[in-house]
Structure 1
């Protein structure tokens, strides 16, 4: 349950503010702060956020059949 909440938070952050999320992770990943990303990177991050949110919503509708 906690993992789903974390993934939901990440998905929503990527969906609503992809530039902040990508810039945060790029600053952690690289020593140089002046890395210039291509414009499609932010679109890809937004699409990734959408996929994560939709996947979690679809998984939540299935219920637990155990």
Structure 2
């Protein structure tokens, strides 16, 4: 249950604001300034959508 809630929250954040989410995690992962390619944010948005769909689908199948 907690994993689904976390996946749903991260998925919504990644879908709506992919730049902020990716930049936050990249700042944690690296010490240097990193320039990301534009497709990274599109991939993050798609990943967020899949996380939301997974969390909602798992929730409906457990009920």
Same fold (TM over 0.5): yes
C-alpha distance in structure 2 between counterparts of 1:41 and 1:27, whole Å: 15
Structure 2 counterpart of 1:21: 21
C-alpha distance in structure 2 between counterparts of 1:59 and 1:7, whole Å: 11
Higher helix content, 1 or 2: 2
Segments of 4+ moved more than 2 angstroms: none
- Verify the 8 A CA contact 2:5 2:55 in the aligned structure 1: no
Say how many residue pairs are matched: 63
Q: Which runs of 5+ in 1 are unaligned?
A: none
Q: Please report the RMSD computed on the Cα atoms of aligned residues, expressed in angstroms.
A: 1.0
SS at match of 2:37: coil
> Based on CA coordinates, which of the two structures has the bigger radius of gyration?
1
TM-score w.r.t. length of structure 2: 0.92
TM-score w.r.t. length of structure 1: 0.88
